[in-house]
Amino acid sequence: MNEFAQLLDRLSYEPARNNKLRLIADYLRTTPDPERGFALAALTGALSFKYAKAGVIRTLIAERTDPVLFALSYDYVGDLSETVALMWPADPNARPNCAPPLSEVIEKLSTLGKTQLPAQIARWLDALDETARWALLKLVTGGLRIGVSARLAKTAAASLADKEVNELENLWPSLRPPYLDLFAWLEGGEKPQARIGASFSPPMLSHAIEEPDLAALDPNDFVAEWKWDGVRVQAITAEHDDGIETRLYSRTGEDISKSFPDLLEALKLPAAIDGELLILRDNRVQTFNVLQQRLNRKTVNAKLLAEFPAHLRAYDLLAEDGEDLRELPFAERRKRLEKFVQRLRSDRVDTSPIVKFETWPQLIAARANPVEAGAGEDAPAVEGVMLKHRDAPYIPGRPKGLWWKWKRDPMNVDAVLMYAQRGHGKRSSFYSDYTFGVWTHGDDGDVLVPVGKAYFGFTDEELKEIDRFVRRNTVDRFGPVREVTHTADTGLVMEVAFEGLQRSTRHKSGIAMRFPRISRLRWDKPPREADRLETLEQMLSRAEHGRAPAAPVRKRKTPQSAVLRLAHEGDHDA
């Protein structure tokens, strides 16, 4: 338990991906079975416990500490697990080196009943040091939240034997904690057998491409589809002894079946489909903003189902009737998919249409005008085109050169830098996270209101220039954050590119940007000439009313008149 706790502790402070990988790999290499396997299960989110919950912890600490001291401490620390871990009264009789192994902790958390569990947790807390107590409480309250994704943990495991993480991903659904067979394989043993078609497998993702890059590719090698502005999902229907079961997963593998009973009903045949979740009304695809109104609901009632009917636009078939199709070329899978969707006979599921082209100029024209190129009234929900290599097998992760996303042009505004925060790791001495604002009416004339935050898009050279500007123009400091001068005449104007806008109650401006980044520094422009909040509001309402453009316009000098689109950072490939 102590080694696992030290790993979590170190990971929770480590900002750099490569260093996280090394910390995890180092742990997995030096820790014996089954401990390392349970640690990997915890890091990949493969564990959940029925009775171990935060309420148990509150009760335990209340029995052991002065309420005034607890309240003052909680107030200072701000996190329940951490407060309890730090102030748990040490047991004077606890022997050193009697910390339970992680495997024992996990086994008991899974098997002990509701009545026995609190006393067991208390005994552990007595036996552990602060860091291990914190780690235990993280396990108990669920969700480690230490900035390590399941994918990252698997990548670290694969690195033990220089394997590709995708090879491990393919096996993953067949593996169970503590993964003895996996580690045996990684250490030179036999590869475990994969069971296929019954569990979520991580999706294949694409790389971004721009028009100039097309010249290097042969149009005959590729098939194009629309890139839909919905939610990437995987629908898995499996046949068990007691009947058919269908589950719907998000691209990260989260089970979202409960929210879409209307769609599940339509998926009666055993298969694994990769596709886009959309809302269709009168056979017309709705924009992402409409879909979002359904996504955000906790309970699903008849009214919601009627108003926001869920639809699956399928674009790949990973398995059919227990047969793994992922090694087949894309063109083959596509044929199987079309036949399969026909067999389903449901108006809830269709195949994503192919965008026909023979030359790149034809595709360029189609992307510029989806209405004419076949998307028709669905064009507002199109956020670009996908290019898929005819011969590409289905490879989880983001393999090079097989799938490309060519998104429509982003929106732009000119905003004013308001606050800057220091970055992490290599950027720890640079002010590299920027909060920017646009003008709006205030009580005493125009004021800047923050509309977003960005920390990439600029070059290393530009980073140095901005850093210098921030240091020389600081007007106030709040911890690692500096407020930078931002008046009508003095300040730094940044051109910010973004993928879309959403209404947000958490932001003072009422608007949140999707994927904002700094596209250009406007040293030439005085802040008074930066854009206004009204401009963003117009962009937003235009998108909400579906009056999205027939074609995007790159003209950026007059953002107010620019034809706009609202895009969701498509899960198809993001």
Applying CB under 8 A, the residues found at the interface with another protein are 6, 10, 12-15, 19, 22-23, 26, 65-66, 68-69, 72-73, 76-79, 82-83, 86-87, 129-130, 422, 424-426, 428-429, 479-480
Which is it for strands 349-351 and 310-320: parallel, antiparallel or unpaired?
Answer: parallel
Nearer to another protein by C-beta: 95 or 298?
95
- What distance in Å separates the CA atoms of residue 9 and residue 534, rounded to the nearest whole number? 45
Nearer to another protein by C-beta: 19 or 504?
19
Q: How far is the CB of 398 from another protein (least distance, A)?
A: 26
Tokens of 48: 């959940």
Is-contact 314 349, C-beta < 8 A?
A: yes
CA distances from 147 to 13, 286, 426, 471 (A): 9, 34, 18, 30
Nearer to another protein by C-beta: 87 or 539?
87
Annotate 453-509 with DSSP letters as a single string: EE--SS-HHHHHHHHHHHHHSEEEEETTEEEE---SSSS-EEEEEESEEEE-SSSTT
Strand, coil or helix: 536: helix
Q: How far is the CB of 65 from another protein (least distance, A)?
A: 7
Nearer to another protein by C-beta: 15 or 322?
15
- What distance in Å separates the CA atoms of residue 439 and residue 535, rounded to the nearest whole number? 10
Is-contact 356 374, C-beta < 8 A?
A: yes
Nearer to another protein by C-beta: 79 or 476?
79
Nearer to another protein by C-beta: 25 or 269?
25
Nearer to another protein by C-beta: 36 or 311?
36
Strand, coil or helix: 302: helix
Nearer to another protein by C-beta: 20 or 311?
20
Strand, coil or helix: 293: helix
Strand, coil or helix: 358: coil
**Nearest of 164, 151, 135 to residue 200 by alpha carbon:** 151
Residue 128 burial (C-beta neighbours within 10 Å; 0-12, 13-18, 19+): buried
- What distance in Å separates the CA atoms of residue 249 and residue 388, rounded to the nearest whole number? 22
Q: How far is the CB of 245 from another protein (least distance, A)?
A: 41
DSSP character at residue 359: S
Q: How far is the CB of 314 from another protein (least distance, A)?
A: 43
Q: How far is the CB of 86 from another protein (least distance, A)?
A: 4
Q: Which amino acid is at 150?
A: A
Q: How far is the CB of 90 from another protein (least distance, A)?
A: 8
- What distance in Å separates the CA atoms of residue 232 and residue 90, rounded to the nearest whole number? 49
Q: How far is the CB of 33 from another protein (least distance, A)?
A: 22
Nearer to another protein by C-beta: 15 or 189?
15
Q: How far is the CB of 458 from another protein (least distance, A)?
A: 17
Q: How far is the CB of 134 from another protein (least distance, A)?
A: 8
